[in-house]
A and B are shown apart, each in its own frame.
Chain A
Amino acid sequence: MTDETALQRVKFYQTGTHTVGNRLMDKARRSVQASMDRSNAITSGHRACQGCGEALGARYALDAALRASDGQLVAVNATGCLEVFTTPYPETSWQIPWLHSLFGNAPAVATGVAAGMRRKGRADVRVVAQGGDGGTTDIGFGCLSGMFERNDDVLYICYDNEAYMNTGVQRSSATPPTARTATTPAVGDAPGNIFGTGKNLPLIAMAHNIPYVATANVADLHDLEDKVTTAMDIRGARYIHIMVPCPLGWGSAADATIHVARMAVESGLFPLFEAEHGRVTRSKKIRRRVPVEDYLRPQRRFAHLFKKGQEDTERIARLQRMADANIERFNLLGERETP
């Protein structure tokens, strides 16, 4: 990860795509997915919707972890879209050993797998636990905090699509203000989810003083892979929070997943950063800052903010202030020397 920010500074990117082309990178830094002899943790044949950010994020994250662990990897999965769409029994998309127990206990199950492996003399087998935002920030939060606090040897990855998608898009504590969900309908005088609620799990994870916390996003898959690789080099409790757009729940076009994810970063609404032992060590600079509108408009869950002739300028401005606060807090424009 360390030289990633350096790469950005020399503007080593192709115009139009904003991604570093694999051809231009030295071999060691090429994406796992670009390697001819890649072995995918999740193979094709899963049943996610077209354009599912979670399917993409999980494939990249687990492939990076698989490579970092030399194939010695077990995944534990909370109930949720990822679990359901990868295991249309008797077909399974998983090439690695995989265990689904319940919705709210994945971190603790993973702790158990890690302990079992150690006792069986297989400490070389690494454990990744994963869940959606609901499984992570809500129902599994107690188990997750326990796993962090004990510094158990587990990498926990949260795929944050900002609602309970698997059950049909209900609000979670990761749902942003104003977003319409099935339990925060766009009616009444504060349509959608209200302001002043929700929790920031990366910051809460940091408060546990665990060795590594990072945020990532499917618009920058290199950065995502780097962060997983960094995390896999560390023992103890680690947490990566990946934003994964959901075309179904967000009401965005299936081919706009990467665009929407990028707008989240470029607007400052979703800051990309890393933290070690409770301190932010690096943050990824915004390349070309955009107003939050650019992020909100392509998503139908925010459509009520942009009604013709009655734009909800006040609440759009509040969202902009949230983005501005992130930019300031995480130094996303590189205005300060230190992160």
Chain B
Amino acid sequence: MLKQTEGSQAVAEAIALCRPEVVCAYPITPQTHIVEGVGALVKAGKIENCEFINVESEFAALSVAIGASAAGARAYTATASQGLLFMGEAVYNAAGLGLPIVMTIGNRAIGAPINIWNDHTDSMSMKDSGWIQLFAETNQEAVDLHIQAFRLAEELSCPVMVCMDGFILTHAYERIDVPSQEEVDAFLPPYDPIQVLDPVEPYSIGAMVGPEAFTEVRYLAHEKQLQALRRIPEIGAVFKDVFGRQSGGLIHSYRTEGAETIAVALGSVNGTIKEVIDGMRDDGAAVGSVSICSFRPFPLDELRAALVGAKHVVVIEKSLAPGLGGIVASNIRMALRETAVPVYTVIAGLGGRPITMNSLREVLEAAGNMRLPDVQFLDLDHGAVEREILRAKQTRRAGPTAENILRNLGHAAVAGND
């Protein structure tokens, strides 16, 4: 049903429609509204046969989900930022065990300095954990991806993270089509596990594997991601048949025909990018954009095909690999490794810094004019950075950087609820 609602609430309703059996919750902004929404539905008796467990940490949240999933139940949890790091060991474990858990990440920066606002550092920290990572561009896609995620996870027996931008999506109130139970039931069959704890047919799940087989087990984890590369577009196609709309898939290209400069990004910033592309196209510039929905598995071939005709590829990314530059950009370079297309990294939107149309247009134009450096920090306050570097050179006991920078900028940051 089409309604005007909060992204988090819509996702909570979508989760409920997927008939989860065990839901684990631990609060962390900006993910909290989602699990609160699911919890309220469970407590009001609106989800049949579902347990909602308020656990004592994120580590416990995912661990409970691991146990439930191994017992054959459909398990769900959600987290963000510090919470994802706190559950880190279990994140790798769930993937290693091949348990089809679905988890929402309400993307948020990682501290220190503590920051509750949006970027992609949290999901990026787990990009190589073996989970499938899908990034939603809109709240509609977030809803749809969750429904697809359960099917994908369970078909492959591999956990799936659905990543949605914290606040920008989770807290936005907009028009969203939340499907009916009949539609979801038609799309998502009951969970039929490939491995389950059952006294009738006892398995040992999680036994030690030595050097003689570890590489093979890891290879199979890679191979599973490659299978996902095939299944994701297929599941997207089935979804379209049932729900009548295109959602998910590996990548979405926007006005890339004949584009010389192509912007590439993950998540909600693609909406703003499209506005910029339209504006620049109106002015005659040959620009387009590509939104990556599936970051893991990484669609090398599809990206290569989408980008190979461009003269400049500008990756707008909300994460940073200190000492290297861009994470997504490095992956894109892998896709373009046999071509001469230059790939630029634009680090943007860290810790909630707004990404504006004006700034985006500037970098895309700079790329077209060959004026964009290899790695650029969007809207970086160079003066503030230089003053701090100078200060640190002058005094040994320079104090905490975060505090110095803010004092330097001369304004108080607002306190948030982390």
Contacts and interface: CB of A to CB of B under 8 A. Distances in A.
The answer to whether any beta carbons of A and B sit under 8 Å apart in the complex is: yes
Interface of A: 47, 79, 84-85, 87-92, 100-104, 134, 137-139, 141, 164, 166-168, 170-171, 173, 182-185, 187-188
Contacts of A168: 27, 29, 32, 417
Given A89-B403, A90-B403, A90-B407, A182 B413 contact: no
Most buried by A among B52, B58, B114, B402: B114
Nearest to A192: B43
Contact of B25 (A90, A91, A183): A183
> Ordered nearest first, which 6 A-B pairs have the shortest CB separation?
A138-B56, A90-B406, A167-B27, A170-B27, A139-B57, A90-B407
B416 interface: yes
Nearest to A141: B56
Given A139-B56, A183-B25, A90 B415 contact: no
B86 A104 contact: yes
B2 interface: no
Nearest to B31: A167
Given A166-B417, A166-B418, A167-B32, A184 B54 contact: yes
A89 B113 CA distance: 10
B406 A89 contact: yes
A193 B414 CA distance: 32
B36 A182 contact: yes
B80 to A, nearest CB: 11
A100 B82 CA distance: 14
B130 interface: no
Nearest to A191: B43
Nearest to A105: B86
A17 B190 CA distance: 63
Nearest to B25: A183
A48 to B, nearest CB: 10
B67 to A, nearest CB: 18
Interface string B7-40: 0000000000000000001011100100110011
A37 B395 CA distance: 33
Contacts of A87: 415
Given A92-B403, A187-B44, 19 more contacts: A79-B114, A84-B415, A85-B415, A87-B415, A88-B415, A89-B113, A104-B57, A139-B56, A166-B417, A168-B27, A168-B417, A170-B25, A170-B36, A183-B25, A183-B36, A183-B39, A185-B39, A187-B40, A188-B44
Given A88-B415, A102-B82, A183-B27, A170 B43 contact: no
A89 B413 contact: yes
B28 A167 contact: yes
A102 B112 CA distance: 9
Contacts of A137: 56
A272 B308 CA distance: 72
Q: Which among B29, B40, B58 has the highest number of chain A CB atoms within 10 Å?
A: B40
A143 B45 CA distance: 37
B209 interface: no
Nearest to A197: B54
Contacts of B52: 183
A178 B32 CA distance: 21
A171 B55 CA distance: 9
Contacts of A85: 415
A100 B412 contact: no
Nearest to B416: A84
Interface residues of B, number: 33
Given A89-B413, A173-B56, A103 B82 contact: yes
Nearest to A137: B56
Contacts of B45: 188
A84 B57 CA distance: 19
A166 B25 CA distance: 16
A167 B417 contact: yes
A85 B415 CA distance: 7
Interface in B48-72: 52, 54, 56-58
A171 B54 contact: yes
Contacts of B113: 89
Contacts of B58: 139
B412 A90 contact: yes
Contact of A167 (B29, B54, B112, B414): B29
B43 A187 contact: yes
28 contacts: A47-B415, A79-B82, A79-B114, A84-B417, A84-B418, A89-B406, A90-B407, A92-B403, A100-B114, A102-B82, A103-B82, A104-B86, A134-B27, A137-B56, A138-B56, A141-B56, A166-B418, A167-B417, A168-B27, A168-B417, A170-B32, A173-B56, A183-B36, A184-B39, A184-B43, A187-B44, A188-B43, A188-B45
Contacts of A188: 43-45
Contacts of B407: 90
B41 to A, nearest CB: 10
Contacts of B44: 185, 187-188
B84 to A, nearest CB: 13
A185 B44 CA distance: 9
Interface in B123-152: none
Nearest to B44: A187
Contact of A139 (B86, B114, B416): B86
Contacts of A134: 27
Contact of A89 (B40, B412, B417, B418): B412
**Most-contacted residue by chain B among A91, A167, A171 (CB, 10 A):** A167
A96 B403 CA distance: 16
B13 to A, nearest CB: 15
Which of B40, B43, B45, B113 has the largest count of A CB atoms less than 10 A from its CB?
Answer: B43
A82 to B, nearest CB: 11
Nearest to B35: A183
A88 B412 contact: yes
Most chain A beta-carbon contacts within 10 A, residue among B27, B44, B52: B27
A134 B58 CA distance: 12
A166 B417 CA distance: 5
Contact of A183 (B54, B57, B112): B54
B27 A164 contact: yes
A88 B414 contact: yes
Contacts of A182: 27, 32, 36, 39
